[in-house]
Structure 1
Amino acid sequence: MTAFRTRYRATALAATTTAVLALALTACGGGDSGTGTRSEGPANNAAPASATGTAAKTSVAAKGTTTGGTGGTTGGVAKGATGSASTPLCTTEDVRISAATQDGPPYTHIVLTAKNTSGHKCEMKGFPEIQFLEGRQNLPSVAKSKPLVPVVLESGAPAYALVKLSDGGVDEDVEPVKGFSVRLQGSSGQAAVSAPGADGIAVDAAKYKTGYWTYELRNGADDF
């Protein structure tokens, strides 16, 4: 009887120990999943589904940002690289300058016309630098005739400048002029211009002055 009880206790103790171990394994999650694969959470180096989605969105966003940034930068560079250079100033080789009387007798004014014959556009800067009489200073300019915007001439287009010769009085100290020189500001050359009329023009050095180059003569601004 004593031997039987000893074997019974040993058997019961072994069974109890096995049960305790089984419960411990189950509580630790170390058991089989029933599918033949150990269930230990995500595989090594694999992100959870939510993280994968976030990573994917970040990748797409980054790609879009890069593409957009490159496109924007490329566009900016392209504009800067292919943008037209500043318009060159007209020279006396770019235009043909002629003179005509204005308003009939007593011929107190003439109009200079500068036509762009260069084949490209150019800017008529400021006013014509006119020298009617040798050894005399250029004609002074009239500030109120200055246009608000630069005068840029397309090929074949003209610009005008009104020039006052005198007040037209019979007692004025005038001198005859049959030809004169015109320089364009920003240009080193000069143009020889024939005065209108068979007898040329009469100028008073105390009264003559010139207006700025404009697209067209304007009442008020060019009344001087």
Structure 2
Amino acid sequence: MKIAITRLENKAAGDRALCAAYGHDCYTVSPLRAELREERIDAFIEAVHRGEFDCLFFASALPAALIAPRLERWPRVIAIGPKTAEVLRGSGIDAEVLPSFYSRAFAPYLGDWLRGRTVGIPRADLPNPELIEAIIAAGGRVREERVYALVPTGTELEVEDADALLFTSAMSYREARWQPRDGLLLIAIGTTTADAMRAGGHPPAVVGDGSLAGTLEALNRCVEGR
């Protein structure tokens, strides 16, 4: 199956090899681009080096790619999923991976350890009040640094030759310009994205576990009728 996968421009490293391992081919379509905020990146790295955080939480691969190569020291590090952890490992950081690949799993995963501790979160300029409230409710403190903005490209996605279209976030679905057609299998990487797609009138045929590998496994189960 040929799958169009929504990714930021130039941020699809490893997708094709992983898809091939599950018997598929893929290519990138980009409804969003990242607008970096260099001063905020610098400020966050300086705060890490000053020892201001007891824990870092990387909720996607892009902030990991922006920040990890420049870190000389770090506290406990949590990655939202295997792709983010892989990026961190490339810079020598052995991160823990959440048991389910959603930010809502962060506070329950750390539990009582959060009490009195400060979490640093480099992220996109998107609100996540549930995550912040959960950390505070557990007795922790949070400093978010919004190190990049996500900007719609305005480019129509090229899906004419695709057998499937995989949305990797709710925002990538909401901001995408594309032409639905019969025979195009719609896939959501996880439940949050699936909810956005249903609300927009495009319910996915396949819903993953929040990771690309888990989504490809779900796709193969669907194809095989399991």
Please, what TM-score do these two structures have when normalized by structure 1?
A: 0.20
Larger radius of gyration between Structure 1 and Structure 2: 1
Which structure shows the bigger proportion of residues in helix conformation?
2
